[in-house]
Amino acid sequence: MDNLSLPIEKLIPGGQGLATLPDGKKVLLWNVLVGEIVASFTITKKKSKYLEGIATSFIKTSEHRVAPKDDFYLSNSPWQIFSYPYELDQKSKLVQESFREEGIAIPAPEVKTDNNEYFYRNKMEYSLYWNNEEGKIELGIHARGTHKKLPVRSSSLERPEIFSAAEKIVQDLNNRGEEARKYQSLLLRCSADGTVSGGLYINGEPHPTFTPLSDKILDKTYTYSPNGFFQINLPVYELALVDIKSAINSNKILDLYSGVGTIGLSVAENKDLTLVESNQAAFGELLNNAKHGTPILAKSEDALSYIEPDASVILDPPRAGCDKKLLERLLEVTPNEIIYLSCNPSTQARDVKILSAKYKISKVTSYNFFPKTPHIENLVILNKL
């Protein structure tokens, strides 16, 4: 759509800018900052009540707009056009807005960062792109809102060791005369010392087992599978762990949704620790990492008997938030404090609203685990009323 004059009113939690068409229909746009005026955009999705799209030209742009480093930035890091101070400010406001929508007033939280905007990801999964003109495979990524693949010839998000290893694998495929359609994707992960592990996923075949990696988090060593769950940005993750550790006031700790155990095991040394995880693969890695504590293989909502009044409970649920049965049990038992880390402030705010019947917010802190993307990690410390 063109010949428009659409002011961007605000950013929404998904990361897009909100504008209103002349007929009153809402439009959610990528490639925009608050206050910019859009002259044209391409439509990527049509819904009955709104459109989604990508802004292509402007009447006015923001002073906070910067040039993106990557050609394909809209695919996986659409906030590359934000200056870093502006990105941090907008993320703080989005967390505050998520809680406001649940009727909870909080100050705009501090967003902690190590100020490393680029080359921070220790894991990357590439598509494989077939270059028809040259008859060869290249690294690829899907264009936002389409099934079209774009070539990736340089990238500023992942560790350089990952990109270098990916290029060597693609070169080897081309030397063997392979075709891109044979492969689902290429997954690689890098440890802090630069060791890279991972490999190709072949269409129609089970995912292979890759050589495990190891890393230190708060001076504790963890082993993990490259294609399993492990934090993407360890330096910023450590900032969150330090804050979690300082919030614990009990000798008994229950770590729910514990994954491979990096939260509980990092913050609860010399304490009575129970870790609950439901994913079999993650639990296997938890067993390898658990030098202390009691690992439990179960869904958190099925491990309610482990919630005790004299415990500190750590929650780190998936994006969907906590199960209702778990929240009800927490309100019934009222453990000393609840330490809630979330990758989705919207569902976190929903859960905190429920818990506010018997708990008050003591502190809210955000962490920029994923610079140049809309994603934000948020920590809420809850204490009994």
Claim to verify: residue 219 and residue 316 sit in the same structural domain: yes
Structural domain includes residue 272? yes
Q: What is the Cα Rg of the chain in Å?
A: 22
CATH at 53: 2.40.50.140
pTM of the model: 0.94
Claim to verify: residue 97 and residue 200 sit in the same structural domain: no
User: CB burial class (10 A; 0-12, 13-18, 19+) of residue 220?
Assistant: middle
Claim to verify: residue 20 and residue 95 sit in the same structural domain: no
pLDDT at 3 over 90: no
Residue partners of 318: CB distance under 8 A and separation at least 6: 257, 343
Alpha carbon distance 118, 121 (integer Å): 8
- 3-class SS string, 149-180: EEECCCCCCECHHHHHHHHHHHHHHHHCCCCH
Cβ atoms of 39 and 5 within 8 Å: the answer is yes
Residue span of the structural domain in which 37 resides: 6-65
Query: Considering its fold, how many domains does the chain have in total?
Result: 3
Structure confidence by residue, pLDDT tens digits, 175-211? 999 999 999 999 999 999 999 999 999 999 998 999 9
pLDDT at 1 over 90: no
Mean pLDDT of 224-239: 94
DSSP labels, 121-137: BSEEEEEEEEETTTTEE
Angle, alpha carbons 273-300-250 (nearest 5°):
30
pLDDT at 249 over 90: yes
Write down the mean pLDDT value for the chain: 96
- Sign, CA dihedral 359-89-102-54, equals negative
Claim to verify: residue 204 and residue 257 sit in the same structural domain: no
Structural domain includes residue 77? no
Structure confidence by residue, pLDDT tens digits, 333-361? 999 999 999 999 999 999 999 999 999 99
Q: What pLDDT shows up at residue 195?
A: 98
Scored b (16 or more CB within 10 A) or e, 284-310 reads: bbbeebbeebebbbeebbebbebbeee
Q: Give the DSSP H or E segment for 314.
A: strand 311-315
Structural domain includes residue 76? no
Mean pLDDT of 309-331: 97
Q: What pLDDT shows up at residue 269?
A: 84
> What pairing do the DSSP bridges indicate for beta strands 337-342 and 377-384?
antiparallel
Mean pLDDT of 360-377: 97
